[in-house]
Amino acid sequence: MKTAVLNIKIDPKVKKEAQKVADELGFSLSAIINASLKNLARSKTVSFSVLEPSARLKKSIESARCERAQGKSVGPFHNAESMIKSLRS
């Protein structure tokens, strides 16, 4: 099989963590990247699984919970105008 060299810039911490997971699964990092690129070429789609909410999402969820507890923006809304009015208040 012919191979080509691919140089990518990546956060060293991400590389280290990914290398650890690849090793635990019994794969080289190169094999995992190669399989991902083959899947991209074949399916012409990219998919990501995010298991842990980001810090920003956690903050938004907490903010929404606080607003709900205070009776803000909870609906139900009978039309779009009343929802938008509530969001702007």
Q: What is the pLDDT of residues 11-55, one digit of tens each?
A: 999 999 999 999 999 999 999 999 999 999 999 999 888 788 889
> What's the rounded Cα separation, in Å, for the pair 33 and 6?
10
pLDDT value, residue 15: 96
pLDDT value, residue 73: 66
> What's the rounded Cα separation, in Å, for the pair 59 and 55?
6
Domains in the chain: boundaries: 12-43
- Are the CB atoms for 46 and 39 separated by under 8 Å? no
